[in-house]
Structure formats: structure tokens, C-alpha cells
Amino acid sequence: NAGVTQTPKFRILKIGQSMTLQCAQDMNHNYMYWYRQDPGMGLKLIYYSVGAGITDKGEVPNGYNVSRSTTEDFPLRLELAAPSQTSVYFCASGQGREGQPQHFGDGTRLSIL
């Protein structure tokens, strides 16, 4: 049981490039989330999904896109990378019920140069 798997673990992008951060979970959770964590800071919600085909914006969605075609996968896309998007990105999943926690992946460390 792998839990939440994120790829890649590290990536360096040039300004203006695009990329997709992958996230997959094998716990059959309906709810999935993308957060960013800037150095020394807390977690800010980018996008989330309550089930396949349904996505919604979080606090800081600008510059990102998501899709949820299956229960297992929730990729995050950066279309035109900017230095302000340098951060650690965490994917999480959960059952979304009261008292049920979110489970995090190991993160993707992204640098935009």
C-alpha cells in the first residue's frame, strides 16, 4: 500500500516552461488536494477535488490548472513557470468526512530559474 505517490521529487524549470506534477493515491479516497509550501511557511491550498470530474479552487490557484479524470490521479499543471512558483508542492488525499485526516505525499521540490 503506497499511499500518496508524487513524481518527480525534484525539478528545475526555466521561466516560461511548463510541466505537470503527478499525484496518485491507492487508498480509494474521493478527496484530493494540492498545497504549496514556501520556505519557512505554512501550507496553502492551490486546488482540490471531491471526486472524479470535480475540481475547485483553493487560496492560491493563479498560474495552475488541475484535472481529475480518475479517482486515483490528480495532476497539477504549471503552464508558464514563474520564479514566484518556486516552492515545495504537496499532494494529499482523504475521505473528506469529519474526523478523517488528510494523508500527504513526499512532496515535489520545484525551482524556477
Partner 1 sequence: GENVEQHPSTLSVQEGDSAVIKCTYSDSASNYFPWYKQELGKRPQLIIDIRSNVGEKKDQRIAVTLNKTAKHFSLHITETQPEDSAVYFCAASKPRLGFGNEKLTFGTGTRLTIIP
Q: Which one of 15-23, 62-70, 75-83, 98-106 is the stretch in contact with partner 1 (CB under 8 A)?
A: 98-106
18 vs 100 by CB, closer to partner 1: 100
Dihedral pair phi/psi, residue 83, rounded to 5°: -55, -30
User: How many CB atoms sit inside 10 A of residue 84's CB?
Assistant: 10
50 vs 82 by CB, closer to partner 1: 50
Segment 44 to 73, residues that bind partner 1, using CB under 8 A = 45, 48, 50, 58
Segment 1 to 30, residues that bind partner 1, using CB under 8 A = none
- Residue among 4, 32, 31 at smallest CA distance from 108: 4
